[in-house]
Amino acid sequence: MRAVLWAGIVVTAVLLTAAVVIAINEQQAEAAETSRRFIAQTTAMSDTDPVPGHAGHQLVIAVPPREDEWIWTGTVTWTSSTPLDVVVLHRYDPSMEIDERGEPLTAPSPFRDGVIAITLVTPDSGSAVPSGTLSFTGSALAFHTTDGTPFTVTYTVDALAKNPNQ
């Protein structure tokens, strides 16, 4: 009788341990997914562009740069108070020797040491309302005016971080 009791205790302990391990693994998987996903719907007002040399520009960071080497890929939809540019920032390796082909638009990174390459998209919404939808891939995403016009933008973004080395 005592052996049966001990067997029951051992089985119960094993099942409880398995349940705890499964719960921990599910929490870790959820945390990893959360760090790879960026979803937002918000309204923001522009501020001075933090990129050195761009103090006369206005900017709203919609998808912040990551601290790792992963890149964002996703879709953003917006409407704004004034026509604006959509900016996708990319890590850039300035050690590459540049020849007569030139180099892309770059600037010192305001987020970390180094240089960023800048994709500047000036969308034409085809309507009187400055708005649009854009697919993007890069290190960060922002809305921007180069003439210093302050703006308000409402946007929805859904992005997933991906490892560029896989």
Contacts (Cβ under 8 Å, ≥6 apart) of 35: 161
Which CATH number is 69's domain given? 2.60.120
Going by pLDDT thresholds of 50, 70 and 90, the confidence category of residue 21 is: very low
Does residue 26 form part of some domain? no
The per-residue pLDDT for range 75-109, each reduced to its tens digit, is 999 999 999 999 999 988 878 777 788 888 888 78
The DSSP H or E segment spanning 15 is helix 2-36
Per the structure, the count of domains in the chain is 1
Task: Give the full edge-to-edge strand order of the sheet including 47-48.
Answer: 47-48, 58-63, 140-145, 85-92, 115-121, 106-108
Does residue 13 form part of some domain? no
pLDDT higher than threshold 50 for residue 23: no
The per-residue pLDDT for range 37-78, each reduced to its tens digit, is 999 999 999 999 888 888 899 999 999 998 888 999 999 999
Does residue 1 form part of some domain? no
pLDDT higher than threshold 50 for residue 19: no
Cβ–Cβ < 8 Å for 107, 52:
yes
Per-residue tokens: 103:
């180099």
Would you list the DSSP string of 86-134? Answer: EEEEEEE-TTSPP-TT----EEE-SSSSSEEEEEEE----SSSS-EEEE
Does residue 85 form part of some domain? yes
Does residue 23 form part of some domain? no
Domain carrying residue 158:
38-162
The DSSP H or E segment spanning 31 is helix 2-36
pLDDT of the residue at 7 = 54
Does residue 156 form part of some domain? yes
Does residue 25 form part of some domain? no
If one compares 124 and 80, the residue with the highest pLDDT of the two is 80
Does residue 145 form part of some domain? yes
For the chain, first and last CA: distance in Å?
A: 57
